[in-house]
Amino acid sequence: MELKDRVAIVTGGATGIGRGIGEVLVRYRAAIVVADLDADTAERTASDFAAMGVPSMAVVADVTKPDSIEKSVADVLARFGHIDILINNAGVAGARGWHTSADSREEDWIAAFEVNVKGIANATNAVSPVMRTQRAGKIINIASIAGREGRPALPHYSASKAAVINYTQAVADELAPFNINVNAVCPGLLWTPMWDQVGHRYARFNPRYEGLPSRQVFDTMIQDVIPLKREQTPEDIGNLIAFLVSEDARNITGQAINVDGGAFLR
């Protein structure tokens, strides 16, 4: 699965799952573009990747603003001349302070769909014309097992991730004539800064986890819902993505694949 000379944009790529995906793609020699709102952290992550011996760059990109992501794409083309892989990873669980409320607020619904759905559409719309011209490309959208079955604690997030899966299918069909593969990956339970907030919310509002530290909530849920009884990692997600963006997966498109330790066996 050699990815040398391939250029990959990873939105939300500075930390968490995005950084983990980048670390795996670096091992396969892909050039990594770290696209993130946090300029300083994006620069540090890109520098770390460059130190591993691959070309890399950081761009400040707000996926909710088409002009921002279009400028980032232009900057990438000016540096590399082509874009081969787009990883739509940027996402939120809700608006600021979402984890302190027992219910989904109006602003949580807006934030989830602005970032998780429209953000993916904005990035795809900015990059896909480049791939159409090349008549080649790989797009991966990060969904969630929450998009497989609604979670009462986070209905806005679950609905947005279900929309990601549906959008993936639609765009895969649209772009197939241009030799562009579009797939979604549905992570299970990964310990990230976002999940730390999820744990705090469960500890406050779910009697099953009342009063537990966030990490203990997470560990308990692993035992409750994961048949393999182990957490997933950003590297697990990156390993699947490395396969999906390689030519080994050239006939896989429009799929949503779980990486969840067996949580959803359907």
What pLDDT is stored for residue 103 in this prediction?
86
Angle at which helices 234-244 and 16-27 pack, to 10 degrees?
A: 50
What pLDDT is stored for residue 99 in this prediction?
86
- Determine the Cα–Cα distance for residues 21 and 169; give it in Å rounded to an integer: 22
Pick the catalytic residue: 157, 167, 202, 209?
157
One-letter amino acid identity for 124? T
Q: How many CA atoms lie within 13 A of 102 on its CB side?
A: 5
Residue 202 a catalytic site member: no
Residue 13 neighbours by CB under 8 Å, 6+ apart? 19, 21, 22, 32, 33, 34, 35, 36, 42, 45, 87, 89
Biggest CA–CA distance in the chain, Å, is: 55
What pLDDT is stored for residue 238 in this prediction?
98
DSSP code, position 103: S
Residue extents of the structural domains in the chain: 7-189+232-259
Q: Starting from the edge strand earliest in sequence, which strands make up the sheet with 256-259, in order?
A: 56-60, 31-36, 7-11, 85-88, 137-142, 180-187, 256-259
pLDDT lower than 50: segments of the chain:
none
7-189+232-259 belongs to CATH 2.40.33.10: no
What pLDDT is stored for residue 239 in this prediction?
98
What does the mean pLDDT of the chain come to? 96
What pLDDT is stored for residue 102 in this prediction?
82
149-167 pLDDT, tens digit per residue, is 887 778 999 999 999 999 9
Phi, psi angle pair for 181, to nearest 5°: -95, 135
212-247 pLDDT, tens digit per residue, is 999 999 999 999 999 999 999 999 999 999 999 999
